[in-house]
Chain A
Amino acid sequence: MHMADALLSPAVGATFWAGSLGAVTCGTRKLKESMDERMIPLMGVLGAFIFAVQMINFTIPGTGSSGHLSGGMILAIILGPYAAFIVMASVLTVQAFFFADGGLLALGCNIWNLGIYPCFLAYSLIYRPIVRGGNSPMRIAAAAIISAVIGLQLGAFSVVVQTLLSGRSELPFGAFLLMMQPVHLVIGLVEGFVTAGVINFIKTARPEILDSVLSAQPLSSGISTRKVATGLLVVAAITGGALSWFASANPDGLEWSIEKVFGRPELPAREHGITPALKSIQEKTAFLPGYKFRGHDGADKNTVGSSWPELDPEASVSGVFGSALVLAAVLLIGLVIRRLRRKSS
Chain B
Amino acid sequence: MFDREYFNLGYLDILSYRDTVIHRLDPRTKLVAVLAFIVTVVSFPKYEITGLLPFSIFPVMLSSLGDIPVRFIAKKVLLVSAFAFFVGIFNPLLDHRPLHVIGGLTISGGWVSFFSIMLKFVLTATSALLLIATTSFPGICHALQKLGMPQIFVSQLIFLYRYIFVLAEEAMKIVRARDMRSFGNRGHGMKVFISLLGTLFLRTVERAERIYQAMLSRGFTGRLRTIRPYGFTSMDLVFLSATITLLYLFRTHDVVGALGRISLRGLG
Question: How many positions in chain A have a CB within 8 Å of any CB in the partner chain?
Answer: 119
Cβ-defined contact, A319 with B190, below 8 A: no
Cβ of A245 under 8 Å from chain B: no
Cβ-defined contact, B61 with A201, below 8 A: no
A5 to B51, alpha carbons, bound, how many Å? 17
From 270 to 311 in chain A, residues with beta carbon under 8 angstroms from any chain B beta carbon are 270-271, 274-275, 277-278, 287-288, 291, 293-294, 307-309, 311
For chains A and B in complex, what number of residue pairs have CB atoms within 8 angstroms?
385
With contact pairs A41-B208, A338-B64 given, residues A277 and B150 touching in the complex (Cβ less than 8 Å): no
> Least Cβ distance of A188 to chain B in Å?
14
With contact pairs A40-B222, A326-B259 given, residues A56 and B190 touching in the complex (Cβ less than 8 Å): no
A331 to B64, alpha carbons, bound, how many Å? 10
User: What residue in chain B is nearest A257 (Cβ atoms)?
Assistant: B43
* Chain A interface main SS type: helix
Cβ-defined contact, A317 with B254, below 8 A: no
Q: B138-169 CB contact bits vs A (8 Å, 1 = yes)?
A: 00100000000111110111111111101110
Cβ-defined contact, B212 with A37, below 8 A: yes
Cβ-defined contact, B160 with A94, below 8 A: yes
A206 to B201, alpha carbons, bound, how many Å? 11
Cβ-defined contact, A104 with B38, below 8 A: yes
Cβ-defined contact, B137 with A44, below 8 A: no
User: What residue in chain B is nearest A69 (Cβ atoms)?
Assistant: B197
Inter-chain contacts of A307 with B (CB < 8 A): 45
Spell out B's residues near A (CB within 8 Å): 3, 6-7, 9, 12, 34-35, 38-39, 41-51, 53-54, 56-57, 60-61, 63-65, 67, 76-77, 79-80, 83-84, 87-88, 90-91, 93-95, 97-103, 107, 110, 113, 116-121, 124-126, 128-129, 131-132, 137, 140, 149-153, 155-164, 166-168, 170-172, 174-175, 185, 188-198, 200-202, 204-205, 207-209, 211-212, 215, 220, 222, 251-265
Spell out A's residues near B (CB within 8 Å): 1-10, 13-14, 24-25, 28-29, 31-32, 35, 37-38, 40-49, 51-53, 55-61, 66, 69, 86-87, 89-91, 93-94, 96-101, 103-105, 163, 167-172, 176, 190, 193-194, 197-198, 201-202, 205-206, 209, 252, 254, 257-258, 267-268, 270-271, 274-275, 277-278, 287-288, 291, 293-294, 307-309, 311, 313, 315-323, 325-327, 330-331, 333-335, 337-338, 341
Inter-chain contacts of B61 with A (CB < 8 A): 333-334, 337
Cβ-defined contact, A323 with B170, below 8 A: no
